Amino acid sequence: CRERRELPCRSSSFETPIKYGRFYCNFIILSQPCPIQFVLSFPPGFPPSCSPSVPLPFTMSHGTTTLAFIFQGGVIAAADTRSSCNGLVACPASQKILPVHSHLVGTTSGTSADCALWKRILARELRLYQLRHGRRLSTAGAAKLLAHMLHPFKGTELCVAATLCGWDGGERPSLYYVCSDGTRLQGELFSVGSGSPYAYSVLDGGVRWGLTVEEATSLARQAVYRATHRDAYSGNCVDVYHITSKGWARRDREDQLQPRFQKSWEAV
Amino acid sequence: MTCSIFLQNKYVMYQDKMFKLSDKILLLCVGEAGDTVQFAEYIQKNIQLYKMRNGYELSPTAAANFTRKNLADYLRSRTPYHVNLLLAGFDETDGPGLYFMDYLSALAKAPFAAHGYGAYLTLSILDRYYRPDLTRDEAVELLKKCIEELNKRLIINLPSFSVRLIDKDGIHDLEKLVPVGAK
């Protein structure tokens, strides 16, 4: 595992009882792999890690479509609900958009166990920050925190690609993409996963600042639908979350095989 | 001048690759995703810490050597940083200086430098037309020549370049350069 010298990434008043990086790396590598691993996406031919080899039970493969964009009404985050596992649909009703706190939501792509774990760690760290400093950390700060927490695991098989969608301090929405290879980018439109090129092409033609909330949600659903149509590893239902100054709100999960939904899509 | 385009999983995102180390020093950092930002921010914060502790800023030469030393220290560890750097600064006594560093922690002071595939195309233009006594406008014209050549011959489309100038008054943002015909 990585034995990088400790980078000064947190101030001394921000100590947490669990040390990251070296300690956590040992813990994760030495634990036995589960017989079935629910995987959202994993690039084939991933570079081999430097850890003592834990043999993978099967080759991993990609499998998700998530997207998020900013418009005048806030932030829309949408994702499909299929968890795939090398050609098998392990779970047709998984949740790929996880709320972190009342004004921050994260879409997840990568290994679903890694994403769920790190989202919970992020939620814990943000809550601790809020209790210690009396104010909520901004989305930029949350993204930076997550990026610094994931950096010690670079080169291992950890795979997390998340977009953090949040509303900062009652002022404006913001959107950050954080990846376990260390990337951290701010933007107004992101799509992540194997179905992302299909979603990008639909979104690039339709996303404008002046969309109404209904137009934005239907555009997000359409983009995920088109991606699931073309991508084998995305499918089943669509989850949509809408983040405003009042917090996040979850739309009903819509099954894409419903004729009502298909008709409204084909009519466009 | 650095191109402000960054490739993320084959799709295009925009990112600023220049990091301000102090009032008169800029670090341009390219290479592996994640490593660039982590390493550049580490150097940036340490340079600022030096200023806070000692009351004066590091000179560009000292900053370049400090950066190179850090790269060299990590080179033979299990986690080397795969980054290529250009450090540009203005010293009151020595004048302007440009330092070229690569991921093997080589350090060279040079009148002009480039990293990446674009270097193959632009270095000979810089060899041909560079003079130490260029004026500011002539220097920008030389940059435009380089960008036109990249636009013509480089297979990757680089739509916009951010340009900064460092002189005795500090760092100045110049107009973004957009090659003709690029989107």
Does A57 lie at the interface with B, CB-CB under 8 angstroms? no
What is A4-43 written as a DSSP string? Answer: PPPP--S-GGG--SS--THHHHHHHHHSPPPSS--BS---
pLDDT in tens, B40-75: 999 999 999 999 999 999 999 999 999 999 999 999
What is the pLDDT at residue A158? 86
- Position with higher pLDDT, B177 vs B59: B59
pLDDT in tens, B106-133: 999 999 999 988 888 889 899 989 998 9
H-helix segments, B55-111: 60-75
What is the pLDDT at residue B51? 92
Q: Tell which of B50, B71, B74, B78 to mutate to test the A interface (max A CBs under 10 Å).
A: B78
DSSP code, position A51 = S
Q: Tell which of B12, B13, B38 to mutate to test the A interface (max A CBs under 10 Å).
A: B38
HSE-up (13 A, CA, CB side) for residue A71: 21
CB atoms within 10 A of CB A210: 8
Task: State the pLDDT confidence band at B13, using cuts at 50, 70 and 90.
Answer: low
Does B75 lie at the interface with A, CB-CB under 8 angstroms? no
| Active-site position among A64, A65, A81, A228 | A64
What is the pLDDT at residue A84? 84
Chain A residues with beta carbon closer than 8 angstroms to that of B33: 179, 181-183
What is the pLDDT at residue A58? 45
Interface contact B11-A181, CB threshold 8 A: no
Beta strand A160-168 with A172-179: parallel, antiparallel or unpaired? antiparallel
Indicate whether B12 pLDDT > 60. no
What is the pLDDT at residue B157? 85
Candidates A50, A182, A200; nearest CB to B37:
A182
Does B12 lie at the interface with A, CB-CB under 8 angstroms? no
What is the pLDDT at residue B93? 92
Determine the residue of chain B that is closest to A189 in CA distance: B13
Distance between CA atoms of residues A117 and A74, nearest Å: 27
Q: Mean pLDDT for each consecutive 10-residue tract of chain A (268 residues)?
A: 49 45 37 41 40 45 81 92 82 89 90 89 94 93 93 85 88 89 89 87 88 91 88 86 90 63 47
Determine the residue of chain B that is closest to A4 in CA distance: B79
Q: What percent of chain B has pLDDT over 70?
A: 90
Chain A residues with beta carbon closer than 8 angstroms to that of B31: none
Sequence letter at residue B147: I
User: How far, in Å, are A18, B122, B124, B139, B151 from residue B148 at the CA level?
Assistant: 53, 10, 14, 14, 5
What pTM did the predictor assign? 0.73
What is the pLDDT at residue A257? 56
Q: Does this complex have an ipTM over 0.90? A: no
What is the pLDDT at residue B182? 55
Active site (annotated) includes residue A64: yes
